[in-house]
Amino acid sequence: MKYIMLSYMLEESSPVHIGLQEPQIIPNAQISKGGGYNSYIINVENHSGTHVDAPGHFLEGGKIISEYKPDELVFNNPLILEVPKKQNELIKLEEVSNLNLEGINCIFFRTGFGKYREKDSETYLTSNPGIESELVYWLRKNYPEIKCIGIDCISMSSYQKPEEGKKAHLNAFMKNEELGEPLLLVEDMDLEIDEKLDSVETVFIIPWQIKGIDSAPCVVMAKINR
């Protein structure tokens, strides 16, 4: 048994959504400059790096990430699904609708787009694949045990298809009698792992513990069964 990260380390150079402030990690007191200790000031928008979106991101009064209990952030039956995608392509309902997802409580979509993150951040940010809104609705309606989905792209929304992306977010978060609990959405995940996808046994999503914010940067740790 071992543990791996499915989240990226946050750096000043981390690619962030177009329009967001870039992360600042500023040395404050520094021993090398004659200080008595080391410390840093960290200035980061909450949708930077690997982060988890909660309903309050799109819905006024929606549940916010700081209201989630630890029990709601541990997933004992995750599925990492291989769905190779080219630039601007959407993950479609028909790719998932014939799978048996009984018992699964969390799905991470591996599009392979993570390979652009370092080498071509422009492509990573502006040509990313996304998820079809209809698929999100279908998952909530048919598999209420699924409480979280994630993706190895900067967003669930394809940058080139913002309307469809907004719908996908709303379908994840909205209150609707036909649907169960809203979903959490983990974006900018590191799914470029060497381990076999089905060896991922348990996933822990650990958002920064900051009161009152809609969503938060997070650590995603996975327990690997080998």
Judged by the rule CB under 5 A, the positions of this chain that interact with Zn ion are 47, 53
Least distance (Å) from Zn ion to the CB of residue 150? 11
Q: Could you tell me if 130 and 90 are in contact, meaning their C-beta atoms sit under 8 angstroms apart?
A: yes
Give the whole-angstrom CA distance, residue 184 versus residue 146: 10
Residue nearest to Zn ion (CB): 47
Task: Kindly tell me the sign of the dihedral angle through the C-alpha atoms of 72, 78, 83, 84.
Answer: positive
Nearer to Zn ion, 47 or 110 (CB): 47
Nearer to Zn ion, 21 or 28 (CB): 21
Least distance (Å) from Zn ion to the CB of residue 15? 13
Nearer to Zn ion, 116 or 173 (CB): 173
Q: Could you tell me if 170 and 58 are in contact, meaning their C-beta atoms sit under 8 angstroms apart?
A: yes
Least distance (Å) from Zn ion to the CB of residue 177? 26
Least distance (Å) from Zn ion to the CB of residue 87? 20
Residue (of 116, 182, 180) closest to 153 by Cα position: 116
Nearer to Zn ion, 213 or 224 (CB): 213
**Helices and strands (DSSP H and E) totals, the chain:** 4, 13
